[in-house]
Amino acid sequence: MVKKQTGKFILRKIIIISIFISMSIMLDYFQKWFLPFLTLPFGGQIFKLSFLVLFLSGFVLGFKNGLTVNCFYILFHLLKSYAYIISTKEVYQLGWFYFSLTLLFDYLIYDLSVSLSGLFYKNDFNQLKNKKTILISLFTVVFLRILSTSLSTYFVYFQRINPSQKDLFFWRFLYSLKEKGQAWEFCLFFSSFLFIIYYVIGSILIIFLAPKLEYVLEKYSLEKINF
């Protein structure tokens, strides 16, 4: 009987992890069609709904399971962005060193850092009732993601700007910042803007979803599953 119950919980655990993986991929893939205003003209999005799923996967399922969800999402993210990654390498004429840096900062660290929400996981799901815990964990994750973006922008893209690209206004602006030694300040300012958006929107939505998610978890006795 115990063995049967254990098998039942393991199956339920696999199903839950699969749901988180599927939701993160579906939201990421379809967001550009039903929320096009969140897409930036030079690539990326102001806010990704898939971020909420990835954050909650660690926050609700624990670090290891959150990391599993994030690893599957990274594979999808890299495959989906393959054409963009290759074109970026060609446009910026990135050597293998800088190309490796952009993969590291813009994809691996950027996505994997979300799984750190699992460090705030508790088996009784009390973290969903504690707004302070939600805000601190969200701050930690968003800060690391924005820091990763800043490092990528400064050490990869700003280093590739040269006078021959000054025919476009945006490039002229960036090149002038580089010449004045204000590149790092710009990276921090731009990243801070994204940090505020992610932190504010993320906090509101997660705090709103927390009691509903807690209700579902308790209804299906998921606190009995050893995540």
Cβ contacts of 172 within 8 Å, gap of 6 or more:
166
Query: Please, are residues 58 and 65 in contact by the beta-carbon 8 Å criterion?
Result: yes
Q: How far apart are CA 70 and CA 49, in angstroms?
A: 14
**Domains of the chain in sequence order:** 2-224 (1.10.1760.20)
pLDDT of res. 89? 86
The residue type at 56: L
**What are residue 45's phi and psi, to 5 degrees?**
-135, 150
pTM assigned to the model:
0.85
For residue 178, what are the CA distances in angstroms to 92, 146, 171, 172, 184?
16, 20, 10, 10, 9
Looking at residue 2, what is its pLDDT?
A: 43
The confidence score (pLDDT) of residue 170 equals 61
The predicted pLDDT at position 122 comes to: 84
Per-residue pLDDT of the chain (227 residues; tens, 9 = 90+): 445 546 677 888 888 899 999 999 999 988 888 877 777 665 667 889 999 999 999 999 999 999 999 999 999 999 999 998 998 888 778 889 999 999 999 999 999 999 999 999 887 777 888 899 999 999 999 999 989 988 988 888 877 776 665 555 566 777 777 777 778 888 888 888 888 999 999 999 999 988 888 777 777 656 555 56
Give me 220's structure tokens.
């299906």
DSSP 166: T
Q: To 10 degrees, the CA torsion angle through 109, 111, 113, 114?
A: 180
The single residue listed with the structure tokens 């655990």 is 13
Identify whether the C-beta of residue 175 lies closer than 8 Å to the C-beta of residue 163: yes
- pLDDT of the residue at 184: 84
